[in-house]
Amino acid sequence: MVPRYSRPEMTALWSPETKFRIWFEIEAHATSALAQLGVVPKEAAAEIWEKGAAATFDVARIDAIERETKHDVIAFLTHLAEIVGPQARFVHQGMTSSDVLDTTFSVQLVRASDILLADLDALLAALERRAREHKLTPTIGRSHGIHAEPTTFGVKLAQAHAEFARCRARLVAARAEIATCAISGAVGTFANIDPRVEDYVAEKLGLSPEPVSTQVIPRDRHAMFFATLAVIASSVERLATEIRHLQRTEVLEAEEYFSAGQKGSSAMPHKRNPVLTENLTGLARMVRAYCLPAMENVALWHERDISHSSVERMIGPDATITLDFALARLTGVVDKLLIYPERMQANLDRLGGLIHSQRVLLALTQKGVSREDAYALVQRNAMPVWRGEGDFLTLLKADPEVSAKLSGAELEALFDLGYHLKHVDTIFARVFGTS
């Protein structure tokens, strides 16, 4: 976790203080369930809750104990016993370390999901607002980076909204899949702890019991979760890359907000660089990088090993903190994005009408010309314009084979920009529910 790319709420979720508080709650809930089953005294469970809930767990003390025991959960339980006293002997009855660690990780990932879902909601709101603002702002669509046919800037943003809406749905599903609890003891057989304890703890924490934990929650769940984060990061990069291209000097149809006093270059005072979206591209690479080790964690030995543990101590905080920061940054970029309709129009006009070539092609086929011949007629008039040698409409009117099929008025009608925007309402209705 790098402070530069972190936000407080998500960072706090992964702090030692938060982790130990969740550990205590799992142990205390399990003890309460055991008390209801008559396995431990009810007064013991009540005292554990009372003293533990009021305690501030000493991270330095736990770390000191772990340096001796070489076991993090035992270190915590030892410190908890120092706080609770003799009744602490009833804590962790029939449980194993993975019960605490895996269930805690589930709780943290669920809470992280809720933060990320709120981030996505904010981004979706910003995208919809800007999309509606520029619903009918004409701009050139590009394929292979080359001018293709007209679209609108609102449609560009509507596409991003639809993509992030899918990301949100995937995250909701990933959250549900990761929200499982394991309190099943050594090798997951419940030999020393009643399955009803797991049911109780799961309900208290808002989780579902893991059907077969084998001492650990199966890591295919975690692989799916981090894969979902990676896909979201890729969508972040897609929109960031689009904005970076649109900010290029030769294009300059949109631009990151440049605040008063901001500097673009240490050497060149004139520079206004797309630093935020370049940063987002880099952060997306990092989130995707955490996906592969999560997948490699799936193949654990037998009922459990801990080869996954060191991996998850890193990727859990880093992936969620980084994506949280990236989504918030992207929302700010979209919200303050500078958009230049005049430049969009100038770029639309840059190729002398070539963007209407398909309409001319189709019109010629409707007049009885074969598609192959129509393509050749249009292309032979388009290539001089591409080289800067004339205007497309003028050349078409002057071509006897074209004018034999299409009158001047018919050709002019084919160059109507509004023709390309006639289904924008349909697209918006599909994305937003209303046009």
pLDDT tens string 385-429: 999 999 999 999 999 999 999 999 999 999 999 999 999 999 999
* The predicted structure's pLDDT at residue 79: 97
Amino acid letter for position 14: W
Give the residue numbers marked as catalytic: 144, 265
Taking the C-alpha atoms of residue 88 and residue 86, their distance in angstroms, rounded to an integer, is: 5
Amino acid letter for position 420: H
Burial pattern 77-96, b for ≥16 Cβ within 10 A else e, equals bbbbeebbeebbebbbbbbb
Contact 393, 363 (CB under 8 A): no
Full-model pTM: 0.95
* The predicted structure's pLDDT at residue 434: 86
170 phi and psi angles, rounded to 5 deg: -65, -40
Low-confidence spans in the chain with pLDDT less than 70: 1
- Please write the tens of the pLDDT for every residue from 187-222: 999 999 999 999 999 999 999 999 999 999 999 999
User: Residues 248, 249, 255, CA angle at the centre, nearest 5°?
Assistant: 60
Longest Cα–Cα distance of the chain, Å, equals 102
Contact 153, 134 (CB under 8 A): yes
Contact 164, 119 (CB under 8 A): no
* The predicted structure's pLDDT at residue 48: 97
Residue 151, helix vs strand vs coil: strand
Radius of gyration for the alpha carbons in the chain, expressed in angstroms and rounded: 30
